[in-house]
Amino acid sequence: MTMRSTILAAGLAAVALAGCSTMRTPSRDELVAEPTACTAKRFDIYFAEDQATLTDAARTAIGLTATQLQGCRINTVRVLGLASSTGDADANQALSEQRALAVAEALTAAGWPTPAFELTAAGDQGATTAAGVAEPLRRRTEVLVEAAPL
């Protein structure tokens, strides 16, 4: 490289670097958005066979979700009760209704607004699973929460 090429390259580099020094570096707050807990949430509550009583794990899941959504506006809460496909269809429908009601009552006790609830029960018909999925996974209540910041 000739002396003239070296001086030219150094001059271009200095001009380029000088332009960088006038750029403002954004702050961390501008780069990193604070995640909001006030978003849609979905969780499942599982039950023992032929039971509509909440387990300790179910109460914990409800409590954790209620804590996450404190300070949020809860628009809707869809609770869908399901049952396994074993046994009588009418009994499974009744059981899935009891499961949905048990979850809704626990959410209400956690301070969630009752008018936001939409309760449905599908018995064993709504418990769609892929082939090979164990029956206990069908013994649940699905909870879908639509929430937004206040």
Any idea which residue has 């300070």 for tokens?
71
CATH number for domain 41-149, candidates 3.20.20.140, 3.30.1330.60, 3.40.50.1000, 3.30.750.80: 3.30.1330.60
Q: Where are the domains of the chain?
A: 41-149
Bridge partner list, 147: 74
pTM of the full structure: 0.70
Instruction: For 45-72, give one letter per residue: b (16+ CB within 10 A) or e.
Output: bbbeeeebebeeebeebbeebbeebeeb
Task: List per-residue pLDDT tens for the chain, 150 residues long.
Answer: 565 555 545 555 555 555 555 678 877 766 666 667 788 989 999 999 899 999 999 999 999 888 888 888 899 999 999 988 777 889 989 999 999 999 999 998 988 877 778 988 888 776 555 555 556 677 889 999 999 988
Return the closest-CA partner of residue 67 out of 112, 115, 119, 116. 112
